[in-house]
A and B are shown apart, each in its own frame.
Chain A
Amino acid sequence: MKTIRIFLLLTVVLAMSSFSVDIPADDEGYRIGDLAEDFNLKNVDGKMVSLADYKDARGYLVIFTCNTCPYAQAYEDRIIALDKKYKKKGVPVIAINPNSPEKSPKDSFEDMQVRATEKGFSFPYLLDEGQEIYPKYGATRTPHVFLLEKKDKGNEVRYIGAIDDNYQDETSVETRYVEDAVDAMLGGEEIRITTTKAIGCSIK
């Protein structure tokens, strides 16, 4: 009986302490090497888009971004540049807005259409309706990039993180994480930096 009591006490203490110590916040979602699920989401042009639609793709830059986040806005032009550079090499950008329009009204489908037109997005900009896709990927913020490589077994996650190392000033960028990763992937070389962290707006 006494043992059970100690056991119970310890369980309680353990439960409390496991909350009080650092909880890995990113323990869900994909890791490097995982196979990413395809999706079927509505684009700003009203058509449904899936990764499987891109028959000739060698990979994908799945980027979770939105209308409202200043960091996402700071990277919009760089996302367009990425699509321009890599679509022709078989790695198109697929942008997904993971925010719930109910919680973030300016991230509504209509507002996405306006933003896409204003900025002249050359890539699909999809709404994660029902917010089912971003938790599977493990996206936590916007912008959050997932580089996938199309392989026989499926779409393998090769890079997760930020676009580059300076959101403030593109001219001061020292490491272009995404470009380095895509170049290495296409060249059949090892990707040197596979995950990076950045401040971003938490997904609402």
Chain B
Amino acid sequence: MKLHITCAFFVILISCKTDGSKKAEIAEAGETVRKLPPKEAVTDGDLEIDVYDFAGFEQFLHRQDGKTYVVNFWATWCKPCVAELPYFERLGREYADKGVEVVLVSLDLHGTFEKKLLPFVREKKLESQVIVLDDPKQNDWIPQVNEAWSGAIPATLMYNKTNRMFYESSLTYEDLENNLKALIDTK
């Protein structure tokens, strides 16, 4: 009986793992994501932020260069998102030498980039890469980021070659660090 349960756990365990890394395997199997250029860039002096539609943005979800990517979906109008930005900044700094890169994906509304986003990024002195995802066909692309995502932000995707995790919730620095460690360690 115990053996049966153990086996059952093994099966579940394996199926979980397979699920988690399915996309990575697909990408390795030859399906390459085309690197499309941003559709525009918004600038304020030396500050420049690229704006992508989903087709252009997709490359940021499937990079296969051995690094671990922490992709945070946020917006200046989203209070809980703004509250957790310092944690992402700190994570990016503290794990930079471990091959971790943070990408802050702004979902600010079209027409507010110059007035809201650029001043915000400048004022907060954000060090992580900031890009804008501006594509109104949300029902098409939200499930492509993650099937379980309802579309609420903040939301965070972490991935490397072998693992993917997705969180539709606010995260503390401790959550972030623990999740990142779990992702890096389970190779």
Contact = CB atoms under 8 A, between A and B. Distances in A.
Is chain B a partner of chain A in the same complex? yes
A88 interface: no
Sort A-B residue pairs by CB-CB distance and give the 7 closest, nearest first.
Answer: A25-B168, A141-B152, A202-B152, A197-B142, A21-B20, A140-B150, A196-B139
Interface of A: 3-4, 6-7, 10-11, 13-14, 16-26, 69-71, 74, 104, 140-141, 161-162, 165-169, 172, 177, 196-204
A7 B6 contact: yes
Contacts, number: 130
A197 B136 CA distance: 11
A186 B38 CA distance: 43
Given A3-B6, A140-B168, A20 B179 contact: yes
B58 to A, nearest CB: 16
Main secondary structure of the interface of B (DSSP, over half): mixed
Contacts of A204: 79-80
Nearest to A70: B77
Interface of B: 2-3, 5-6, 9-10, 12-13, 16-17, 19-20, 75, 77-80, 107, 109-111, 136-139, 142-143, 146-154, 163-170, 179, 182-183, 186
Contact of B148 (A20, A24, A74, A203): A24
A80 to B, nearest CB: 20
B164 A165 contact: no
The interface centre, meaning the residue of A17, A198, A203 with most chain B CB atoms within 10 A of its CB, is A17
B163 A162 contact: no
B4 to A, nearest CB: 11
Contacts of B149: 25, 197
Contacts of A20: 20, 163, 165, 179, 182-183, 186
Nearest to B110: A168
The interface centre, meaning the residue of A24, A25, A166 with most chain B CB atoms within 10 A of its CB, is A25
Nearest to A4: B2
B31 to A, nearest CB: 19
Contacts of A74: 109
Contacts of A197: 138-139, 142-143, 149-151
B77 A69 contact: yes
A168 B137 CA distance: 10
Nearest to A162: B139
Contacts of B110: 168
B150 A22 contact: no
A71 B150 CA distance: 15
A21 B107 contact: no
Contact of B17 (A17, A141, A162): A17
B182 A19 contact: yes
A198 to B, nearest CB: 5
